Amino acid sequence: MAEIDLEGTRQALTERLDELQRSTDSTADSRKPVELDQASVGRLSRMDAMQMQAMAQATERLRGQQIDRVRAALKRIDDGDYGYCVACGEEIEPKRLAVDLTVPTCIDCASGARRSP
């Protein structure tokens, strides 16, 4: 296997996880239920607020998926499996890992070109 700087990768993943956690914490208010008091807010303003809330919730779902991927990559480092495809066990190209440190599969498995054993 090509030499991977596991400590550097761990640090980069940990920093990314911290960044994602801070983003989650800082956007919590935008995901709260929208007040539907017609006396204080007009109908269009409520619709805008509900749309913004829905977008914030969708963004948070995506952020949650990213957090899961980072945690899984950190676990693979801890387990000694980082850099190997979780589907077939073959080495993941270092260039592929350089693009996305959390990538769990080789290009063949990701594209469906290889069937896992």
pLDDT tens readout for residues 24-56: 888 776 656 655 555 555 666 777 878 888 888
- Give the residue with greater pLDDT, 33 vs 111: 111
Residue 116 is predicted with a pLDDT of 47
pLDDT-based confidence at 94, cuts 50/70/90?
very high
Residue 25 is predicted with a pLDDT of 83
**Is residue 69 in a domain?**
yes
Residue 17 is predicted with a pLDDT of 96
**Is residue 29 in a domain?**
yes
**Is residue 90 in a domain?**
no
Q: What is the count of structural domains for the chain?
A: 1
- Residues 53 and 48: their CA atoms lie apart, in Å, by 9
Range of the domain at 72: 6-82
pLDDT tens readout for residues 50-83: 888 888 889 999 999 999 999 999 999 999 999 9
Q: Which is nearest to 1 in space by CA: 85, 80, 91?
A: 91
**Is residue 28 in a domain?**
yes
**Is residue 19 in a domain?**
yes
